[in-house]
Structure 1
Amino acid sequence: MRDLPTIAIVDDDESVRDTTKDLLESAGLSAATFRSAERFLLSKDTCAIKCLVADMRMPGMTGLELHRHLDAAGTPIPTILITAYPDEGARAHALKAGVICFLAKPFSAEDLLACVEMALQAA
């Protein structure tokens, strides 16, 4: 059996974490969930993560701040940002920072899976 790439889902909304995990696992991927960027950073398995799906707005560190932190630490992970508050300026800013995709909630399964595929190819 081959090792599946693991996608981390970082979102303060439990229902988003759970439904996103279910979607990824139904597509044959492995997923791990975290309720905050800080919890993700404390995880011992961050080196196994091949793609990060993070909420743009969370208490504490935002998804974009997490992406930048990982880059600055020399441990970049291809990142997909999701948000319930789509804003073209924030989208442009995130893409300029190297984020793979910027999706508005609710996003379609097809859109998320296409972004994950791009992220895994970039990993």
Structure 2
Amino acid sequence: MSFVCIVDDDASVRSGVGNLLKAVGYTTMTFSSGEEFLASPEIDDALCVLLDIRMRGMQGLDVQRQLNAEHRAIPVVFMSAHGDGETVERAMQHGAVSFLRKPFAEEVLLDSIELAIGRKNGER
């Protein structure tokens, strides 16, 4: 089974985004930290990962670097209320599909997920 993974240290974000995605038909898995996500045996079944930039412990950019270092082809969609220009640029340079500023519109999130899944499936 394939999942959209949500990695955010804020339980209300994990719950809200998870409920929205379930309502439109996605199966989700949520993680409260980058370390928890990277250690999950289900990581190889991820369609994409919605990843917060600033979290306790491992930061979002660090998780992205680890995924790249391990050659894991999991498209990343960043979410953050703290996205300065330099952070957004670094995320995109390292292969992020998109960078969403919290709060974001449901349609923008769903479009980003579709784009990420398309990238995972080899679409451009």
Bin the TM-score by the shorter chain.
over 0.9
Q: 1:33 aligns with which of 30, 46, 56?
A: 30
Percent identical among aligned pairs is 38
Counterpart for residue 86 of structure 1? 83
**Do 1:7 and 1:29's aligned partners in 2 also have CA atoms closer than 8 Å?**
yes
Residue 23 of structure 1 aligns to a residue in which SS?
A: helix
Contact 1:54-1:63 within 8 A present in 2 as well: yes
Amino acid in structure 2 at the alignment position of 1:37: G
Q: Does 1:23 align with 2:20?
A: yes
What is the match of residue 101 of structure 1? 98
Question: In the TM superposition, what are the counterparts of 1:1-123 in structure 2 within 5 Å?
Answer: 5-123=2-120
User: Segments of 4+ in structure 1 off by > 2 A?
Assistant: none
1:80 partner amino acid: V
Runs of at least 5 residues in structure 2 that lack an aligned partner in the other structure: none
Between the two proteins, the alignment pairs up a number of residues equal to 120
1:1-59 deviation line (CA, Å, top 9, x unaligned):
xx5x3100000000000000011111111110000011111211111111000100011
The alignment partner of 2:41 has SS state of coil
Partners of 1:87 and 1:73 lie apart in 2 by 27
Give the TM-score normalised by the residue count of structure 1. 0.93
